[in-house]
Amino acid sequence: MKTSKILLVDDEEATLFGYSRYLSKAGYSIDTCKCLKEAKDRTATSHFDAILLDLKLPDGNAMDWIPELRSAHENTAVIVITGASDIPTAVKSIKMGAHHFLTKPVNMDDLSVSLSKSIEFEELRKRDSIHQRLALQKGEPYFGASPVIQKVIQYANVAAMNHTVVLLHGETGTGKGVLARWIHDHNQRKNEAFVEVNCSSLKGELLRSELFGHAKGSFTSAIKDRAGLIEVADGGTLFLDEIGDMDIEVQTQLLKTIEEKSYRRIGENKLRTSDFRLICATNRNLTEASNNGSFRKDLYYRICIFPINLPSLRERKDDLVGMIKHTLLGFSYAHFPLTEEVVNTLVHYYWPGNIRELRNMLERALLLAQGEPLTVQHFPGLEKTPASIATPKEKESGTEVWNLDEIEKRHIVRALKHFSGDKYEASSALGISLSSLYRKLDKMQQQTATA
């Protein structure tokens, strides 16, 4: 096993001698210094696994050095030693990033336990952050360990091992697009095309032409022959996002293509084939849509062979801290530990826009922080009271318990108020597209009208 290197910083010769002898015997490699300046010089040139730091040094109070030390050497454990009467100072040192504090006279067994625990903790943290960094470098998504997301990964793995049609369902921003790409990247077809079509942004003829292609002259703007995306996806994956918004006529043609494994370009008679793997995604309730006639029932049965439901962030709060760290690492923010206050505020929030909203909110916070450590003030709208935005379930001691629609409605109204009615800003903060916001506002208006 690797020998851990410890730096002892204390101005008393006898103390240094005592600690050194004990810790060398315990198998540590020891270096010592007697003042702050020496300690700074030593840490600038060597790496230490832990630093044992007396706070009162001849050239200053080592307390002020702790934040700098922790940010420059994030995997070095810091153990502070103070006088027995100075507990408030010791507590302050922990807030500044020290791992443990011990009071004088130091009990050697306590010292030994504190050291090994702190070093072990830093080792684990280092390994965790290396894992996360590697995942980020490979552009891999972060999933987490909550039982609900583990189930999703299990299904996604099955989907990756075969070529069946997959239907991803989940609220906006839960990662349907990301998971579709992940399934493709882990499938035999990974070196072939991954073709994404957003069925809500293209309507009618435009979507048909985009999917099936067209022959020159088949409509006014068809100035030359053009292959459709179904053709481009041959051998690879066709990802039909927001399939719930697809026009009925296009649905009919798509069903035929899936069933017969062949299609025609618009304005052409030639039958073409394309061997694509189909992944669809929607945040709409397709069962309901197929019952009320806005989605073809036969197409629904055809694509609902292997459905995967993506949980909302609030259903997997265990994964939130990992997701926050993963996202911050992606933005190269890794110097400062997150304060408990920030973590608590984020964990208590309702996240209607899910991972997308979390990402947007963190990005905005980093801009506001301008390179300084993040505080709750960098999360405007969230900083006031976690309780005020806690889910109603968490406020059950009160009188009101809202259903999900009501929560969403209130949240949208709050966001619009916060941005003085600016729908663009509000939709971006909510982590939804502008068109989704308009859709939701329309729905809210209809509900109000019929109420």
Can you give the binding site for ligand ATP, defined by CB under 6 A? 141-143, 170, 172-178, 283, 355-356, 359
Q: How far is the CB of 173 from ligand ATP (least distance, A)?
A: 5
The least distance separating Mg ion from the CB of residue 145, rounded to whole angstroms, comes to 24
Among positions 149-208, residues that touch Mg ion (CB under 5 A) are 177
The DSSP element (H or E) to which 227 belongs, if any, is strand 226-227
Cβ closest to ligand ATP, residue 16 vs residue 415: 415
Question: Binds 170, which of ligand ATP, Mg ion, none (CB < 5 to 8 A, cut-off by type)?
Answer: ligand ATP
Residue 175 interaction partner, one of Mg ion, ligand ATP, none, beta carbon < 5-8 Å per kind = ligand ATP
CB atoms within 10 A of CB 397: 5
Q: Which residue is nearest to ligand ATP (CB)?
A: 175
Closer by beta carbon to ligand ATP, 243 or else 355: 355
CA–CA dist 178, 135 (Å, integer):
14
Shortest distance (Å) from residue 20 CB to Mg ion: 59
**Residues near Mg ion (CB under 5 A), total:** 1
CB 345 within 8 A of CB 205: no
- Cα 62–chain centre separation: 36
Compare residues 54 and 241 and give the one whose CB is closer to Mg ion. Answer: 241
Residue 176 CB, shortest distance to Mg ion, in Å, is 5
Which does residue 178 bind out of Mg ion, ligand ATP, none, counting CB within 5 to 8 angstroms by kind?
Answer: ligand ATP
276 binds, among Mg ion, ligand ATP, none (CB under 5 to 8 A by kind): none
Residue given tokens 């044992």 in the structure block: 52
Which residues, 212 to 231, sit near Mg ion by CB under 5 A? none
The angle subtended at Cα 384 by Cα 349 and Cα 334, nearest 5°, is 65
What is the spatial distance between Cα 449 and Cα 433, in angstroms, rounded to a whole number? 24
Give the ranges where 138-203 is alpha helix by DSSP (H). 147-161, 176-185
Q: Which is nearer to ligand ATP, 181 or 409 (CB)?
A: 181
User: Token match 């050239």: residue?
Assistant: 59
Query: From the list Mg ion, ligand ATP, none, which binds 143 (C-beta under 5 to 8 Å, kind-based)?
Result: ligand ATP
Q: Which residue's structure tokens are 């025609």?
A: 264
Q: Which is nearer to ligand ATP, 212 or 333 (CB)?
A: 333
Helix (H) or strand (E) holding 79: strand 77-82
Beta carbon nearer to ligand ATP, 175 or 213: 175
CA distance 136 to 266: 42
Q: Which is nearer to ligand ATP, 94 or 347 (CB)?
A: 347
Residue with Cβ nearer Mg ion (177 or 431): 177
DSSP 8-state class, residue 377: G
State the minimum distance, in angstroms, from the CB of residue 140 to ligand ATP: 8
**Least separation, in Å, of the C-beta of 203 and ligand ATP?**
17
Summarize the chain as % helix, strand, coil (round to 5).
Answer: 55, 15, 35
Sign (positive/negative) of CA torsion 353, 389, 380, 413? positive
Residue 4, both tokens: 């851990």
Q: Minimum Å distance from CB 359 to ligand ATP?
A: 5
Question: What's the CA gap between 175 and 145, in Å, rounded?
Answer: 16
Min dist CB 173 to Mg ion, Å, is 8
Length of the chain: 451
Report the interface residues with Mg ion, using CB under 5 A.
177
